[in-house]
Amino acid sequence: MDAQAEASDLARRMPDRLTASQINLVHFALAMGGFAIGTTEFAAMSLLPYYAATFGISEPEGGYAISAYALGVVTGAPVIAVLAAKWSRRTLLLTLMMIFAIFNVMTALSPTYSSMVVFRFLSGFPHGAYFGVAMLVAASLVPSNARTQAVGRVLMGLTIATVIGVPVATWIGQALGWRSGFGIVGALAALTVALIWQFVPYDRPDRTGSMMRELGALKRPLVWLTLAIGAIGYGGLFAVYTYLATTLTDVTQVPSYVVPIVLAFFGIGMTLGTYVTGRLADHALMPTVGALLLWILFWLAVYPFSVGNIYAITLVVFMIGTGGGLGTALQTRLMDVAGEAQTLAASLNHSAFNMANALGPWLGGLAIAGGFGWASTGWVGVGLAIGGLAFWGISILADPKSLTSTPHHEH
């Protein structure tokens, strides 16, 4: 069963066909979950200096909380996708978002840094599975030739979070304390639960689903190669973004209120990159992936030379953000090479990108702690982009026709 067949099967388990306005409300509800997830994922980085100060730790050490969230995503996505193979999609979405809400509130209430790291890990657990299931539900409600747009609407919740949610959470965190930033995410997640409950139709559980069917994806080398491209090649964006707030205040020497504005430019770049990449990848998927990795590599190499000037660094951060479209392209690639294990494949993409979210801040922190300076995160990113290109090249060698085939036809 391919990605289109999976969506069609899910559509059959849904009630009667919804109207266009009802479908838009479902997509909005699912995107709100993406907005909440995107806000916590990126705001945790911009709030790093503040919670590090509260707990009396260095910023590189504070990066462990970011890595803990990412590792929660990496762990949770495959575990939940496999164990919940027979669940109703609506029930699973509600459960995942309730868990997400609870542990973000617990993060806000963390009495110690150790407890915060634990709560960040548990907050990340529902992340990948939520996106994977939400995308399948979104695609099941529209004709097959509109599936990519439906998936893009769900992902747009995450990218818009980097434009609006993260700057707002950062400003509020600066004004009222970092704990309020995570509290806002808990409220957004609770709102998502209400929206899903109201607008997402109940679907019958998939009685044919099984753990073994989902685990079948792990037997496919092209799945692992695709995951490696994202897990390594995307790490540079996170290496730079994690330490961007301190770089701006300590190196660029701008007032703290300017930081969220620069973060918003990163988000605008990511939103634009997601939109453009989706259109390009529909025509030439793997060439688009390779070109994006080269694009990311170039701007990460420029980054260390831009940190002394606010206008230069803002432009470069915007350009690095446009590389965020890589996630959309790799999502499609995974669906194309995963066979029947569509839920696991859709979820694993977010595991891969959160491996990047763990790897990038960790290596960036090592470079900073080693005395190479805040701007050195750009060079760390260059190395990771080269690694992503290496796995892209291996993937092309293993599957040469992917350079000329269009998405959704490789089975």
Task: Enter the CATH code of domain 3-403.
Answer: 1.20.1250.20
Q: Match 């992902």 to its residue by tokens.
A: 155
- At residue 237's C-alpha, the angle toward residues 68 and 251, to 5°, is 95
52 contacts 61 by C-beta, under 8 angstroms: yes
pLDDT at 24 over 50: yes
Position 206 confidence tier, pLDDT thresholds 50, 70, 90 = low
Position 115 confidence tier, pLDDT thresholds 50, 70, 90 = very high
189: left (phi over 0), alpha (psi -120 to 50) or beta: alpha
Per residue in 338-347, pLDDT (tens digit) is 776 777 777 7
Structure tokens at 7: 């969506």
Is 0.75 topped by the overall pTM? yes
What is the mean predicted confidence (pLDDT) over 183-205?
91
293: left (phi over 0), alpha (psi -120 to 50) or beta: alpha
pLDDT at 149 over 90: no
Q: What pLDDT is attached to residue 245?
A: 87
Of the ranges 192-201, 202-211, 223-232, 286-295, which one carries the lowest mean pLDDT score? 202-211
Count of Cβ atoms closer than 10 Å to residue 114 Cβ? 12
Which one, of 238, 409, 259, 229, lies nearest residue 337 by Cα?
A: 409
> For the chain, what is the mean pLDDT?
85
> Which residue pairs from 47-50 have beta carbons closer than 8 angstroms and sit at least 24 positions apart in sequence?
47/169, 47/170, 47/173, 47/178, 47/181, 48/242, 48/243, 48/245, 48/246, 49/245, 49/246, 49/249, 50/173, 50/174, 50/177, 50/178
Q: What is the residue extent of each domain of the chain?
A: 3-403
- Tell me which H or E stretch contains 123: helix 113-124
Per residue in 347-383, pLDDT (tens digit) is 788 878 878 878 998 899 999 989 999 999 999 999 9
Q: What pLDDT is attached to residue 97?
A: 96
What is the mean predicted confidence (pLDDT) over 47-60?
90
Q: Which amino acid is at 190?
A: A
Distance in angstroms (rounded) separating the CA atoms of residues 138 and 98: 20
Position 207 confidence tier, pLDDT thresholds 50, 70, 90 = low
Of the ranges 266-270, 377-381, 402-406, which one carries the lowest mean pLDDT score? 402-406
Q: What pLDDT is attached to residue 392?
A: 95
pLDDT at 5 over 60: no
**Which is it for the CA torsion 127, 128, 129, 133, positive or negative?**
positive
